[in-house]
Amino acid sequence: MRVGMGYDVHKLVEERELILGGVNIPHTLGLLGHSDADVLLHAIMDALLGAAALGDIGKHFPDTDEKYKGISSLKLLEHVGKLIEQEGYVIENIDATVIAQKPKLRPYIEEMEENIAKTLHIEKEQINVKATTEERLGFTGREEGIAAQAICSLNSIYDGSYAVADTGAGCSGCTGCSAGRSPE
């Protein structure tokens, strides 16, 4: 098993949309950044890339590249998911926390989890998103910005916990299905 952690922060400004977990949240301020500045997805991507020893989002999506200007972080997350898969890893779980004084995020968390799961082709039960305030302390408490932290675990498909058939005969020995077994 491999574990990765991610952290991101963006400044709150006027005339920007507030997008967290791929959800456009009504608010008077939005996050400033080269992409859509979705701090939650950025922290998750860094956790995934870190667990797979693939660097960070700045390496893969530099803010000096115009093709990423204003891009949806869901598209970036999809690309990271493909990189993880190409390296032979499967995502076991993701746990993330958004730190924001306002707005209240509870009504949007389920949709965030659904977006993340759908984009990464995993089950919603493998995602946990939480939100907290810092009791008006620090830059998040003063509503100057929003931060997010994430941790994830990956397993290699080569670790032996997954049966991979290399012939047309299918797998054997598993009691979960009838694949590869001859009819009785």
User: pLDDT tens digits, residue range 73-119?
Assistant: 999 999 999 999 999 999 999 999 999 999 999 999 999 999 999 99
Tens digit of each residue's pLDDT (9 = 90 or more) over 132-163: 999 998 998 899 999 999 999 999 987 754 44
Query: What's the whole-number mean pLDDT along residues 45-66?
Result: 95
> Would 173 be classed as within a structural domain?
no
Q: pTM for this structure?
A: 0.84
**Encoded tokens for 117:** 């799961």
> Would 90 be classed as within a structural domain?
yes
> Would 84 be classed as within a structural domain?
yes
Asked if the model's pLDDT at residue 181 lies above 60, the reply is no
Exposure of 122 in the CB half-sphere (CA atoms within 13 A): 24
Number of domain units in the chain: 1
> Would 169 be classed as within a structural domain?
no
Asked if the model's pLDDT at residue 32 lies above 70, the reply is yes
> Would 172 be classed as within a structural domain?
no
Which residues contribute to the annotated binding site? 8-10, 34-35, 42, 56-58, 61-65, 132-135, 139, 142
Range of the domain at 74: 2-156
How much is the pLDDT for 107? 96
How much is the pLDDT for 157? 85
How much is the pLDDT for 73? 96
> Would 52 be classed as within a structural domain?
yes
How much is the pLDDT for 172? 54
Query: What's the whole-number mean pLDDT along residues 32-61?
Result: 96
Which residues contribute to the annotated binding site for a divalent metal cation? 8, 10, 42
CA dist 10 and 15 (Å) reads 14
> Would 174 be classed as within a structural domain?
no
Asked if the model's pLDDT at residue 120 lies above 70, the reply is yes
In CATH, what number is assigned to the domain containing residue 105? 3.30.1330.50
Q: Which of 72, 61, 129 is nearest to 99 (CA)?
A: 129
How much is the pLDDT for 184? 46
> Would 170 be classed as within a structural domain?
no
Asked if the model's pLDDT at residue 179 lies above 80, the reply is no
How much is the pLDDT for 175? 54
Residue 98, CA distances (Å) to 63, 76, 110 in order: 22, 19, 13
Asked if the model's pLDDT at residue 10 lies above 90, the reply is yes
